[in-house]
Amino acid sequence: MAFALSPILKNIQIMFIIILGALLTAGSYFLAKQQQFAKLFITLRIAGLLIVIIGASTSMFKVIDAGEVGVKTLFGKVDNGILTSGLNVVSPLVNVTSFDTKTQNYTMSAVHDEGNKDGDDAIRVLSADGLEVVIDLSVLFKVKPTSAPEILRTIGTDYIDKIVRPVTRTAIRDNAVSYDAVALYSLKREEFQQKIYHTIAVSFAKRGLDLEQLLVRNITLPASVKASIESKINAEQEAQKMTFVLQKEKQEAERKRVEARGIADYQQILSTGLSDKQLQYEAIKAQKEIALSPNTKVLIMGGTNKNIPIMIGGN
């Protein structure tokens, strides 16, 4: 009610100042006929004109800040045109309401003093499996400049409490019932966010608002469900660790198997590939190296094995 009366009161105030100035100016002409009030006549005329000029100028020149638009109203009737940022000249009787067209952030959080409202303002929803899930959310939006007159006409300046907050909370509750609590927390979180984004964007667009981004900041599950998820994650990590250990052991066993096969193949090649003549040739080569050694004194060929020399003496 105060918002509805303030433009009217402002217009009445401006009109009163202009009328007062006009009356002073008119009164000065009446006093001019009286000789004794000749000097007062000039003073009243100047004062009256100044009051009229001041009253008219304060209401005719409107400054709109950057990132805002102005909407004109005349005795409650909203003009469809908008005033852009800068200095604008309007009728002295027109009231101008400014709308912020920059990106605005509205946050609903369970953390005290973190959201737009004090205290716990998180959204509590029931999931498909009947569990209560707590969701922290941030909405990034802005007012469409050309829609500002319609917003003022149909909603007013408190569009955050009338549109942004209730539409967002309703969309989240309506969509959360399609998901289990665990799915909301992990697997389906991105899908859920995209779904509520589309729902809110359509609703905002019908009311002259642009939804830029929707941020699901945090999803809190009941303590029992959270403990169950953590236990499951720990079990999965242990299973992955055991799989890694088994794979490593299997690789080590395979390595040893290949090594043993190589040794067996080598031994088989030696047993089948070495003849007596080849052994005798290798023995002669070894005897030659021994004979050339400075530590050898006597070398007797022969013995029980024709291929093995007998050494006597030496250092």
Last residue of a domain, one of 100, 127, 142: 100
Q: Closest Cα partner for 74 from 84, 56, 64, 59?
A: 59
Position 5 scores a pLDDT of: 44
In the chain, the number of structural domains is 4
In this predicted structure, what is the pLDDT of residue 248? 84
Cα–Cα distance for residue pair 99/64, rounded to 1 Å? 9
Read off φ and ψ for residue 108, nearest 5 degrees: -120, 115
Report the chain's C-alpha Rg in angstroms: 48
Q: Is residue 105 part of a domain?
A: no
Domain membership flag for residue 228:
no
pLDDT for the residue 254? 85
The backbone region for 238, taken as left when phi is positive above 0, alpha when psi lies in -120 to 50, beta otherwise, is alpha
216 with 239, same domain: the answer is: no
Does 226 fall in a domain?
A: no
Shared domain check, 210 and 145: yes
CB 297 within 8 A of CB 314: yes
Ranges under pLDDT 70 in the chain: 1-49, 51-59, 113, 115-116, 118-119, 224-230, 232-234, 266, 270-279, 281, 293, 295-315
> What's residue 253's pLDDT?
83
pLDDT reported for residue 4: 40
Cβ atoms of residues 168 and 139 within 8 Å: yes
Q: Residue 251 has what pLDDT?
A: 86
Tell me, yes or no, whether 140 and 151 share the same domain.
Answer: yes
**In this structure, are 114 and 170 located in the same domain?**
yes
Question: Is 9 in the same domain as 68?
Answer: yes
Judge if 195 and 122 occupy the same domain.
Answer: yes
Where in the sequence is the domain holding 212, given as residue range(s)?
A: 110-221
Final residue in a domain of this structure, among 100, 123, 139: 100
List all residues 6 or more positions away from 294 whose beta carbon is below 8 Å from its beta carbon: none
The answer on 260 and 217 residing in a single domain is no
Q: Both 136 and 180 in a single domain?
A: yes
Based on the fold, state whether residues 217 and 258 are members of the same structural domain: no
Residues 184 and 163 both lie in one domain: yes
Last residue of a domain, one of 71, 100, 129: 100
